[in-house]
Amino acid sequence: MKIVVLDGYCLNPGDLSWEPLERQGAVTVYDRTPAEEILERAGQAEVILTNKTPLTRETLAALPHLRYVGVLATGYNVVDTVAARERGILVTNVPAYGTDSVAQLTIALLLELCHHVGAHSGAVRSGAWTTSADWSFWRTPQVELAGKTFGCVGFGRIGAQTARIAEALGMRVVVHSRSQGVALDGLLAESDVVSLHCPLFPETRGMIGASQLQRMKPSAFLLNTSRGPLVVEQALADALNAGTIAGAGVDVLSVEPPAEGSPLFTAKNCIVTPHIAWATREARGRLMEIAAGNVAAFAVGAAKNVVN
């Protein structure tokens, strides 16, 4: 099989091997592929792997040899799956590879909001402790999580794992999902921490906007390590700047890379990381193995992790 990887750099910037995929056929890997170069690079491909390079209806129609698209991620909205199905092109994704890593970063954002470890370390290194009149000082309120309520919005693998860690910290967990738990409005009003773990669907886009933020406690934190468009970013920035909520930690934005001047960049007590929750070497290694396994299963007529 002729296999083309359109945007392999984020998955493998050089610390992993493509060998599991190379066992499946002749592999060509591009670090990044502009939309206008997809047809030139993948015109003869039977198998395409993509992470964030979009494959639209028009692009799929211009790839006559294509039989399979493997998305190097769990979310697969970069591919027009309906158009792929119409053309007999199988689309797969990679579920569950990053559960522990994403949950870990979610809690890291929460702990940073509670303690601002980086800022305090920077203050010490700049001499603030040396010149302090007291044996201890803090620049931000220090927050204990034990006994507080952790509101988990979405309760798939990642949400459930994050909730387990929150419980280990002594927090009480409440859940809102499509199949269980409390109503969203009730969770927002009750929780000291609201953590989003939902897929991006039309009904979840913008699910946290101005009216939802108004329902939260002034002392509450919002976390989003799922999908950026779940949150209306200007509304979140306004809520942070007005003191409607106390802080936010996000690893995802509605446009990635973001435009210069995103409202969250200057919002009060807002931590923004560059979509790194998935990026541990361990998680990326699992992603590589599962993606290669998906291709191998397709090759023998036993496709798995099919999304269309």
CA distance 50 to 91: 11
Could you give the C-alpha distances from 30 to 2, 49, 64, in angstroms and in order? 14, 10, 20
Please identify every residue annotated as catalytic.
Answer: 227, 256, 275
CA distance 295 to 303: 8
